[in-house]
Amino acid sequence: MVFAPVQTRRTFEEAVEQIAEKIKLGELLVGDRLPSERALAEQMHISRPTLREAVKVLVDSGLIEVRRGSGGGMFIRTDHVPKELLLQRREMRIGEVAQVLEARRLLEPRVAQLASMRATEEDFTALERTIALQHALVAKGTLLSGAGRHDRFLALDVQFHIGIARATGNAHIVSLVRSLYRELEIARDMAMHHEPIPDWSIDIHERTLAAIRSGDLDEVDKVMDEHLGQLERTWEQETGRTLVRPTPEFLLRRT
C-alpha cells in the first residue's frame, strides 16, 4: 500500500483522511497491516509525532488497532468509517495548540531575557553550533524533499530553544521549555510546509542569538516577539481563528 505525501501539512488531519479514505474505498481491508511508523511518515512526508497524532485519532475511532510485541504493528480493525471521525478531535486539538502557543508567549521571552543576563561563552558556542548545523542542512537541498531532513531541521530548532533555556542556568526552566516544545511539535510541523520558513528560522535564530549576546533586554524582547509571532500567524491562517497574545502590554491594558 503506497501513501501520497501530505501536501498542506495541516497537522494530522490529511494523514487521517488519507488512511480513512483507503479503508472506505476498500483499498485497505480488515486485518491489513499498515507500513511501519517510520515508513508511513516518510511516504506522507510528515514528522513521526504528527503521524502518531493521526494514529491516535484512528485508534480512538476504532478504525485501526496497534498490536505490541512480535508480529505487532498497526492493523485495520473495521471498514466502518464514522462521519464524525475528524470534527471532534480537530476542535479539541485546535484548542490545545492555542493554549500551548499562549503559554509559549508568556514563557519564552522571559527565558531569553534571563539567558541574556546569565549566558556564558560556552552557551553562546552551543547556540552557534546549532545554527551552523541548520545552515548545513539547508545547503543540502529543499527541506521538504524528505521527512527525515524535515524532522532533523525541527529537532535543531528545538535544540536552539532548549539551548536558550540552558543558558539561564536553571534546570527547572529547561524542563518547562522542553515540555512546552513536546506539546508544540505538531503545530510547528503544520507550519513547516511554508517554503520561506527554513531560511527565516535560521535568520531569526541568528538575530535572537545576537540580541541575547548584546545584553539589551528590550532588544531581546523585540526579537522574541517577531520569533514567536511567525508560528502564531501561521496557526491563525491554518485555523481561521484569532489567537490572544498575552504580551506585557496586552496584560497591562486588561488591568
Q: Please give the tally of structural domains in the chain.
A: 2
What is the structure's pLDDT at 45? 79
What is the structure's pLDDT at 34? 95
Non-local CB neighbours of 38 within 8 Å, separated by 6+ positions: 48
Place of cell 535564530: 205
Place of cell 485501526: 64
What is the structure's pLDDT at 9? 46
Task: Give yes or no: residues 162 and 213 share one domain.
Answer: yes
Task: Give yes or no: residues 51 and 95 share one domain.
Answer: no
Per-residue pLDDT of the chain (255 residues; tens, 9 = 90+): 667 666 554 557 788 888 988 888 788 899 999 999 999 988 887 888 888 888 998 998 899 999 998 889 999 999 888 877 655 556 656 777 888 899 999 999 999 999 999 999 999 999 999 999 999 888 866 554 555 666 678 788 989 999 999 999 999 999 999 889 877 876 665 554 555 578 889 999 999 999 999 999 999 999 999 999 988 888 888 778 888 887 766 656 665
Task: Give yes or no: residues 67 and 124 share one domain.
Answer: no
Q: What is the DSSP string of the chain?
A: ------SS--TTHHHHHHHHHHHHTTSS-TTPBPPPHHHHHHHHT--HHHHHHHHHHHHHTTSEEEE-STT-EEEE--S---TTTTHHHHHHHHHHHHHHHHHHHHHHHHHHHHHHHH--HHHHHHHHHHHHHHHHHHHTS-GGG-HHHHHHHHHHHHHHHHHHHHTTT-HHHHHHHHHHHHHHHHHHHHHTTSTTHHHHHHHHHHHHHHHHHHT-HHHHHHHHHHHHHHHHHHHHHHHS-------HHHHHHH-
Is 125 part of a structural domain of the chain?
yes
Task: Give yes or no: residues 234 and 125 share one domain.
Answer: yes
Task: Give yes or no: residues 149 and 105 share one domain.
Answer: yes
Residue where one domain finishes, among candidates 25, 42, 76 = 76
Task: Give yes or no: residues 101 and 50 share one domain.
Answer: no
Is 6 part of a structural domain of the chain?
no
As given in the structure block, the three cell numbers for residue 252 are 497591562
Is 85 part of a structural domain of the chain?
no
Is 2 part of a structural domain of the chain?
no
Residue where one domain finishes, among candidates 25, 47, 76 = 76
Task: Give yes or no: residues 173 and 49 share one domain.
Answer: no
We report the CATH number of the domain holding residue 55 as 1.10.10.10
Task: Give yes or no: residues 57 and 108 share one domain.
Answer: no
What is the structure's pLDDT at 106? 93
What is the structure's pLDDT at 235? 81
Residue where one domain finishes, among candidates 51, 76, 101 = 76
Q: Give the domain range for residue 143.
A: 91-254
Task: Give yes or no: residues 97 and 38 share one domain.
Answer: no
Amino acid at 51: L
